[in-house]
Amino acid sequence: MFHLPFPVHDANAQGGGKDLGDLPEWDLNDLYTAEDAPELKRDLDWLEEACASFATDYEGKLVDLDAAGLLDCVLRNEKINQVAGRIMSFAGLRYYQVTTDADRAKFMSDCQEKITNFTTPLVFFTLELNKLPDDHLDKLLDQNPDLARYKPVFDRIRAMKPYQLSDELEKFLHDLGVVGDAWERMFDETIAGLEFEVDGEVLGIEGTLNLLTDPDRAKREAGARELATVFGSNVKTFARVHNTQAKEKEVIDRWRGMETPQTGRHLSNQVEPEVVEALRNAVVEAYPKLSHRYYELKRKWLGLDKMQVWDRNAPLPMEDPRIVDWPTAETMVMDAYNAFDPRMGELAKPFFNKGWIDAAVKPGKAPGAFAHPTVTNVHPYVMLNYLGKPRDVMTLAHELGHGVHQVLAAGQGEMLSSTPLTLAETASVFGEMLTFRKMLDNAKTDTERKVLLAGKVEDMINTVVRQIAFYDFECKLHAARRGGELTPDDINDLWMSVQAESLGPAFEFMDGYETFWAYIPHFVHSPFYVYAYAFGDGLVNALYAVYAEGEDGFEDKYFDMLKAGGSKHHKELLAPFGLDASDPAFWDKGLSMISGFIDELEAMEG
């Protein structure tokens, strides 16, 4: 319940050391001033007592509460979430600043353990809530508008009602969760321990994956071949992890009566299976006009007869390796946000001048980038590893979008502010699109425009096409596992069946590429998570198309959408824009934006 976001790995991060200007660092004092701060001890003591008294006051008694009593219960639960969330945010963010510091790691682990122990007695809350008869709960909601505000929370919890087991079995599964976690940890530790030797240098996985974006083709090939060699020699371990995780999921899903392996993910994303199916089908049908067409262009630019897998993320030959210093990046993003609506600029400003961003690349700092909302009575914190590449400016625009969204949604309170994964990317991708359009408008030459367009198309293909191919691979993997144990070759075959289809005829696949499923963490940590990326990107593209058409009052509707946080379903949120995600044409609207960019790139070829 109180886990921090898994830091998003960015395969493009490189060692910096350039003069990027004055890079901001976090000031975590708004959470706590130190790990031994008296306020932190006070909150931990309060939390222990609050959880115990909550269990004493309410366990076995939810059915007897009137509307006012249930509202008090919900508010107490929300306050517990807020205090626990504040403590874990502080411990986690300190750790991500220097992951190699043993004291910070211990502090985070100790906090997590205490909070898990304190909150274990609260497991009854959702179980009992789901036992309340529908008409009883509806009557209470009708009687009290303050309680009715939490209906989306009850709906979310009660979506699991048909799949809930007995209290005893639920507690058993809760306790057994640590076994599944151990397989995840084994995967993480195996990946982290892999060593790759390229040109006499020993690298970890981040550094080796980074070679796939090197301008030197020989280096890219050496990196790809070494990845294949090392994955190949560890493939039995990775196959064992996937077999076990998929089997564990199948057993739990079967006991719960889940209709498909994807059902649990759709429920937590608050999205209907047919909507995901419409997205998946629209993307797969669009492969020829998106990835196949773009990679054919890229093959020509690179002067190749055939693209190899190590050319997919190669920089373009006409790319200018310019460096964007921090003040310039700030100006670019703030100009784009202000041009959309000055209110957006106002919301973004404090991130830059109040210590809400940690930008520099530092030894021991977690890789990648994220925006962590902390809790609704503090503010979000953004983490970057800023190296001054144009793509880093886009990452800043993206994470700042999350931050603005989180600030606006905070008004909903702890239980209603967070959006499901499918909607969580809305403001981030939209902020990125605003910044991209601004950079495109300011492009001085055709070459600069071409590089910007190609970079955007690559990002979109990686977000939409690649993630839907990943989703198809997972669907095939879980279906196949239901028929029995899968050998490494079985899994390799499933992987290749989606790769060739999604990347298209411009590619040849080297021996060894069939094992590249092995390192994708989402397959192990959060099955079927990947389609949310494509959902978010497609949704924003459709939304941006409405904005570009000059929709009247778009900005106000957009702010209302972000302020809603998780209090409304995607159907309600999109209705004011005349959009509906369950309509297959909705996804085509978003995909046609990508193909429009490719049209422009083709036209530039003359």
Domain ranges of the chain: 28-158
Residue 203, classed as helix, strand or coil, is: strand
Q: Does residue 327 have a pLDDT over 60? A: yes
Q: Does residue 14 have a pLDDT over 60? A: no
- Asked if residues 577 and 551 have their Cβ atoms less than 8 Å apart, the reply is yes
CA dihedral in degrees (185, 190, 192, 198; nearest 10)? Answer: -170
What does the pLDDT read at residue 18?
59
What does the pLDDT read at residue 129?
92
| CB-neighbour burial class of residue 200 (10 A; exposed 0-12, middle 13-18, buried 19+) | exposed
Q: Does residue 2 have a pLDDT over 80? A: no
Q: Does residue 532 have a pLDDT over 60? A: yes
pLDDT tens profile 311-322? 999 998 887 777
Q: Which long-range contacts (CB under 8 A, 24 or more apart) does 147-156 make?
A: 147/67, 147/70, 147/71, 147/74, 149/416, 149/567, 150/71, 150/74, 150/415, 150/416, 152/416, 152/566, 152/567, 152/568, 152/569, 153/74, 153/415, 153/416, 154/129, 156/270, 156/566
Nearest-angstrom CA–CA distance, 125 and 130:
9
Residue range 301-318: average pLDDT?
Answer: 93
- Asked if residues 376 and 308 have their Cβ atoms less than 8 Å apart, the reply is no
pLDDT class for 577, splitting at 50, 70, 90? very high
The pair of structure tokens assigned to 257 is: 């009566």
What does the pLDDT read at residue 423?
86
Helix (H) or strand (E) holding 508: strand 507-508
pLDDT tens profile 113-163? 899 889 888 988 988 999 999 999 999 999 999 999 999 999 988 998 899
Alpha carbon 358 to its chain's center: 19
Percent of the chain clearing pLDDT 90 (strictly above): 72
Find the helix packing angle between 531-548 and 465-481, rounded to 10°: 150
Percent of the chain clearing pLDDT 70 (strictly above): 97
pLDDT tens profile 439-476? 999 888 998 899 999 999 999 999 899 999 999 999 99
How confident is the prediction for the chain on average, in pLDDT? 91
Nearest-angstrom CA–CA distance, 299 and 308:
9
Q: Does residue 17 have a pLDDT over 60? A: no
What does the pLDDT read at residue 317?
86
Q: Does residue 16 have a pLDDT over 60? A: no
What does the pLDDT read at residue 606?
64
**Between the CA of residue 51 and those of 125, 177, 497, what are the distances in Å?**
11, 21, 50
Higher pLDDT among residues 16 and 21, named by residue:
21
Nearest-angstrom CA–CA distance, 167 and 156:
19
Q: Does residue 9 have a pLDDT over 80? A: no
Q: Which fold has domain 28-158?
A: Butyryl-CoA Dehydrogenase, subunit A; domain 3 (1.20.140)
> Range with the lowest mean pLDDT among 101-110, 169-178, 202-211, 219-228?
169-178
Q: Does residue 6 have a pLDDT over 50? A: no
What does the pLDDT read at residue 367?
76
Higher pLDDT among residues 364 and 252, named by residue:
252
Helix (H) or strand (E) holding 186: helix 167-193
Residue range 406-434: average pLDDT?
Answer: 91
Higher pLDDT among residues 268 and 599, named by residue:
599
